[in-house]
Structure 1
């Protein structure tokens, strides 16, 4: 196991601990991360509302539930996240429910800014995009693969928007959140399940 991974696992949070950490910071008008600003606190507040909603309403489909329960091995999903990240807010509740549903996956969460060494191993186009799900074999500690920071449809939407307008503005962020709303977490479920199937085959 890489040193960066071992160190991150040692300092990781469960989903409940992660949610509490974000909530407790919001009570002090703060967000997670090294940088503090009104915008980041506002995003964190919005994201908390989103995650509360998704925790209640988001479902794993029966077919996906069956596939998750049928996994042969046992795994750790180590996720790099931050409370202010809009993509993380949409994806974390899904990843949590998938882990619970499987009975074979332990979910661990670390903050990006506290784990720079780890983040630098998983850059997207040289940027520190999150969330990143790192898949580890629980028995051997071997790194098997990773997924993120967005499902394909969401990634395409942002790439095309950037190509057309040259920048990401509030409209791009709104379009992205609408994409997630309509998708209902299905693409994330399918992509992660397909990755797990590939790793097991």
Structure 2
């Protein structure tokens, strides 16, 4: 396994452990990350409420649920996140619901961006440290296969268009973004990720068939 990913997995957290970390820090009026501020703590508090709501209300549609259960490979989703990140708060509960639907085909582990700079630098978006970033790892070979993030297409387009028009992201843009997530209900994210996983599953199966051929 590539050493950077190995180190990240060693210090990673489960979804439940990540949620507890964010909650415990908020009790001390802190956020995750190397920088601390009233603003970041405020965002972490908002995100805590968002994740609590999404954990209760999010569903995996039957069609996607069936596709997840048809995956043949075994995977780890290594997610780079921070408690103050609004996109992460909207997306990690979606990831978790898909993992639960996988019936142990997928395991999710979470690391904090500021604690894993080397890993983050390998998965930049337009040279920026945008999160969350989901890294798909083959559990059998420990190799990184693909990555997804930091946003589904519709949300990314919204932010890109807003930047072009206004030059920067402000509170109005953030409000519009979270409204998009609320209306979408995690569906676009689930569709994009399951399509990626199906493609990866086919690639792994093809490689295994090739290995079987050359073994004789």
Per the normalisation by structure 2, the TM-score is: 0.92
**Alignment partner of 1:109: what SS?**
strand
- The equivalent residue for 1:193 is 194
Measured on the aligned residues, the alpha-carbon RMSD in Å equals: 0.5
Counterpart CA distance in 2 for 1:74 and 1:122 is 22
Deviations 1:86-113 (A, max 9, x none): 0000000010010110120000000000
Deviations 1:116-139 (A, max 9, x none): 000000011111000000000001
User: Which of the two has higher C-alpha Rg?
Assistant: 2
- The equivalent residue for 2:78 is 78
Which stretches of structure 1, 4 residues or more, deviate above 3 A after TM superposition?
A: none
Cα deviation, residue 198, structure 1:
1.2
Counterpart CA distance in 2 for 1:23 and 1:150 is 24
Cα deviation, residue 158, structure 1:
0.2
**Alignment partner of 2:76: what SS?**
strand
Per the normalisation by structure 1, the TM-score is: 0.99
Counterpart CA distance in 2 for 1:2 and 1:125 is 23
Counterpart CA distance in 1 for 2:144 and 2:25 is 32
Matches within 5 A, 1:42-121: 42-103=42-103, 104-121=105-122
Deviations 1:120-163 (A, max 9, x none): 00011111000000000001101110000000000000000000
**Alignment partner of 1:122: what SS?**
coil
Instruction: Could you tell me which runs of 5 or more consecutive residues in structure 1 were left unpaired when the two chains were aligned.
Output: none
Is residue 6 from structure 1 mapped to residue 6 from structure 2 by the alignment? yes
